[in-house]
Structure 1
Amino acid sequence: MAATIAADELDFRDYVRPGDNLTWGQATAEPVTLTENLLRQRENLGGITCFIGITVADTVRPEHADHIRFVSYCGTGSNRALMRAGALDIYPGHYSSLPGLLTRGALATDVVLVQCSPADDQGRYSLGIAADYYAAAIDSARVVIAEVNDQVPFTYGQRYLTAADVDVVVHSARPPVQQQATPIGAQVRQVAAKAAELIEDGSTLQFGIGAVPEAVLAALGDKRDLGIHSGVLNDVAADLIEHGVVTNARKSVDRGVSVGGLLLGTRRLFDFAHRNPAVAVRPTSYTHDANLLAAQHNLVAINSAIEVDLTGQVNAEVAGGTYVGAVGGGAEFLRGAARSRGGIPIVALPSTASERSRIVAELSGPVSTSRADAGVFVTEYGVADLRGRTLAERQALMLTIAHPDHRKTLEEKLCGEP
């Protein structure tokens, strides 16, 4: 039976041992009451490692690295400050590998911090805002500490917690962290309009994080019977469901239900998902399952990138020498869409950033997605479908969607090497 402790009485020394690995829900799913307490007590814990995901709240800061080693799969959000301070170590793996990373091996979780909704009449705590990758650690961790927040939505999914699953319960009543929509400019809207033209009625959508995927979703208001199977659900997705654009009526799997691993949005999204049987929050082992993605007919993967080269290689991690993105699930969803009957693997991005071409002859960062997985690329200048194309054909197609001011320079750098 779980012990109930007041937040100001929780002493992490009772549960955390020197050298332990900890993790918790990322972004809007962060149990802030618990993480704030943990960080305040850090110097008494004997040196620990914390695996963190996207950081939306300003909870984790560089000064906390004096007694904590921080590891993440991404450089997103507040993680950028950690990167600049040299206080963050990056795990450069596919998103689907994260559950395994946290349950076995060097980063296996000893203590997991969970944010839950209040229990229902069956005694079940919903994971609320996210099941995601960290839910896998609940069964393998030595200690599970739950923040039961009465403002967290009760969502449906594969997994619920009971008192038997939890070692400590701390009650809170505070608004969950919110992620506001990314501002969308004219150039991004043009990219989104081109991408939206590729999406047919009845398609099932996966979409990444950021301005471009959000803009593509916002451009789909005239579509019908779309479905959603994605790593994240956002406010725009809630709008599409509420307006009847997304019905999930033609999905091959989970018909009638929008599936996501993380509610990455605002109170509007949380309220929409609360006790809504049309929304399912499921773990990464489900949302990123390769066979399940392939089984979903007409799966359209909508992701973006920092830059792409003329053969279809994608850098989604490093910009200007700084780690700002992630390997993430982009390659996995692109592969899933490529295997899906009628699917389309899309990488959409503006052709330039601050007058610098994002279509390049040679990547300035790592290859996050290989050219073997190249699909359809979209900029405001058009669409380049690289599927089944040779290197020479790819280079010619990619030049057509580069900014006109950069095409001559890019063409001069072509070398024809494999």
Structure 2
Amino acid sequence: MSDRIANAQLKGKIMSAEEAAQFVNDGDKVGISGFTGAGYPKALPKAIAERAKEEHAKGNSYMIDLFTGASTADDCDGILAEADAIRFRTPYQSDPTLRNKINDGTTFYADYHLSESGMYVEQGFFGQMNVAIVEATRITDEGHIVPSSSVGNNVEYLDAAEKIIIEVNSWQSVELEGMADIWRMPSLPNRVPIPLTEAGQRIGKTYIDIDPNKVVAVVETDAPDRNAPFKPADEISQKIAGNFLDFLEGEVRAGRLTYDGYVMQSGVGNVPNAVMAGLLDSKFENIKAYTEVIQDGMVDLIDAGKMTVASATSFSLSPEYAEKMNEDAKRYRNTIILRPQSVSNHPEVVRRLGLICTNGLVEADIYGNVNSTNVTGSRMMNGVGGSADFTRNGYISSFITPSEAKGGDISAIVPFASHIDHTEQDVKVIITEYGYADLRGLAPRQRVDKMIALAHPDYRPLLQEYYDKALHLAKEKKMMHTPHVLSEALSFHQRFLETGSMKKTSKK
């Protein structure tokens, strides 16, 4: 497969992953490619994990600080975490083994906005980046890297690192070349506006130019991305999708949206994918996406002629759709653009393009604050990802969620969010299977009835009981703007920790 490595200088640096791992030392800051299970290095993580195990067996310290675009996979984050090889991790993760290491205190985790994470590295906030490990679909004659199925923070890591290791993966289609649009933001104090006024514009190069003298190793691989299948849309997901479409129809009736003017952002997961499936049979045409990831539902919209352009930084496809993308990348690159996440998630561009943004949540409170990250305020799930980039800057920021979780023991609507990632000022619409709450133009107390109506019927009386008590106390103390009973504001969470359920009827 060395024909994918066209540069003679870099072809001379081909070696095994085990040999390349010797360039990664204890305490190194390592930036890798990868975003939502796509485009991450496949061989080096295992080799680094094995080296960590060997060093630990000798009684030596061996841990790295790991920087990515977003989540990777079990054969990257997972095996490194299992080997206790990660001291510090940022900016987003979703691996269960790594999550456990974060929550048991083994690994430090910093949850940053994705649009800012590359800039932090570029500006040296973390110190010197020692190694960049980036997957490519090929290396050009000039030594440029053609990104594979994600771009993420690759540019910032390659520019900042002292040493570069390139994995050239023959599983990735060579026809991906031409899909990437690499635009570098000039460093401070020379910032300029990103010249994007349409989701489908191309403003950069199809490759990442690097300093070839920094490359210490090139490793050849042939391994698929982590492509998890999406679950078939269940009744609840279909109801949520229907309620979202009802909201969009209401925007059309109000004159704030047209059937051919919908520019969308969508978070990752089964429910957002179900929403996109619902758009197939809708009246909306000429849909455009300016988002983080390309999911199965977007590919279906493209194939149906409903979506004319999809701009993102990565794929997040099922195995079936990943195979379809590999087989037909040449056609899809006419519609799909992969950008650095510093561009795909940039607040200025998000605000300019007028996006209708849709993301998931852990919980929302009766006043519209949203928690996307921490269960019961302390246990990290995945991270805020890029949801805040889009929520704060989107034209309409919506959140979609089932009304309950854990078989009904957790309510997605609570009196007071145990952790807040998105404040009431940024959250415009919340949607469950019971309808949607349009919070725009409403004061906090005007939102409460709408929010309680979104909750599962089992929890509505408990939420109303809390609010009535808060309102009574607030009138006495003249604290009516956002009434709370601070001693009971987290009572739902306390009951869950004590009994295993947020309901008053204990399981014990």
* TM-score of the superposed pair, with normalisation by structure 2: 0.73
| CA displacement, residues 341-396 of structure 1 (integer Å, 9 cap, x when unaligned) | xxx211111111121321110123x1011111120111111111111210110112
CA distance in 2, matches of 1:171, 1:179: 24
Alpha-carbon contact 2:20-2:165 (below 8 Å) kept: no
1:161 aligned partner, one-letter code: I
Distance 1:10 1:294, change over 3 A: same
Q: Which secondary structure does the structure 2 equivalent of 1:363 belong to? A: coil
Alpha-carbon contact 1:56-1:179 (below 8 Å) kept: no
Match of 1:30 among 31, 40, 43: 40
**Structure 2 residue aligned with 1:400:** 453
Alpha-carbon contact 1:238-1:269 (below 8 Å) kept: no
| CA displacement, residues 290-326 of structure 1 (integer Å, 9 cap, x when unaligned) | 12111214x2101110110011110110125521131
CA distance in 2, matches of 1:134, 1:122: 18
Alpha-carbon contact 2:18-2:47 (below 8 Å) kept: no
Match of 1:132 among 142, 152, 159: 152
- Residue range with higher mean Cα deviation, 234-243 or 39-48: 39-48
Q: CA RMSD in A?
A: 2.4
Alpha-carbon contact 2:293-2:315 (below 8 Å) kept: yes
**Structure 2 residue aligned with 1:317:** 373
CA distance in 1, matches of 2:387, 2:138: 34
Distance 1:63 1:258, change over 3 A: closer
| CA displacement, residues 70-114 of structure 1 (integer Å, 9 cap, x when unaligned) | 413335233334335533322122221211233322255221110
**Structure 2 residue aligned with 1:10:** 19
Alignment of 1:13-412 (within 5 A): 13=22, 15-26=23-34, 27-42=37-52, 43-44=54-55, 46-52=62-68, 53-59=70-76, 60-61=78-79, 62-65=81-84, 67-78=85-96, 79-103=98-122, 104-106=124-126, 108-119=128-139, 124-153=144-173, 154-155=176-177, 156-159=179-182, 160-161=207-208, 164-165=211-212, 167=215, 168-199=217-248, 201=259, 202-221=261-280, 222=282, 223-247=284-308, 257-265=309-317, 266=319, 267-268=322-323, 270-271=325-326, 274-275=329-330, 276-297=333-354, 299-320=355-376, 321-338=378-395, 344-353=396-405, 354-355=407-408, 356-364=410-418, 366-412=419-465
- Deviation of 1:193 after TM superposition, in Å, equals 1.2
Q: Which secondary structure does the structure 2 equivalent of 1:22 belong to? A: strand
Alpha-carbon contact 1:310-1:398 (below 8 Å) kept: yes
- Deviation of 1:142 after TM superposition, in Å, equals 0.7
**Structure 2 residue aligned with 1:252:** none
Distance 1:272 1:190, change over 3 A: farther
- Residue range with higher mean Cα deviation, 368-377 or 400-409: 400-409
Alpha-carbon contact 1:113-1:144 (below 8 Å) kept: yes
| CA displacement, residues 207-266 of structure 1 (integer Å, 9 cap, x when unaligned) | 11112211111110033110011011112211111111101xxxxxxxxx3211111113
Q: Which secondary structure does the structure 1 equivalent of 2:279 belong to? A: coil
CA distance in 1, matches of 2:304, 2:42: 33
Q: Which has the larger radius of gyration?
A: 2
| Equivalences, count | 400
Higher helix residue share: 2
Distance 1:383 1:46, change over 3 A: closer
Distance 1:9 1:271, change over 3 A: same
Q: Which secondary structure does the structure 2 equivalent of 1:126 belong to? A: strand
CA distance in 2, matches of 1:352, 1:398: 14
Distance 1:225 1:64, change over 3 A: same
- Deviation of 1:56 after TM superposition, in Å, equals 2.3
- Deviation of 1:163 after TM superposition, in Å, equals 7.1
Q: Which secondary structure does the structure 2 equivalent of 1:161 belong to? A: coil
- Deviation of 1:57 after TM superposition, in Å, equals 2.8
Distance 1:50 1:121, change over 3 A: closer
Alpha-carbon contact 2:65-2:88 (below 8 Å) kept: yes
- Deviation of 1:4 after TM superposition, in Å, equals 2.4
Alpha-carbon contact 1:349-1:378 (below 8 Å) kept: yes
Distance 1:198 1:233, change over 3 A: same
Distance 1:273 1:88, change over 3 A: farther
1:211 aligned partner, one-letter code: N
CA distance in 1, matches of 2:75, 2:460: 41
- Deviation of 1:129 after TM superposition, in Å, equals 0.9
CA distance in 2, matches of 1:38, 1:239: 38
| CA displacement, residues 143-197 of structure 1 (integer Å, 9 cap, x when unaligned) | 1111011121324223313574460221222223323224532112211111123
2:40 aligned partner, one-letter code: E
Q: Which secondary structure does the structure 1 equivalent of 2:459 belong to? A: helix
CA distance in 2, matches of 1:272, 1:314: 40
| CA displacement, residues 14-34 of structure 1 (integer Å, 9 cap, x when unaligned) | x33442100212322211112
**Structure 2 residue aligned with 1:341:** none
Alpha-carbon contact 2:45-2:75 (below 8 Å) kept: no
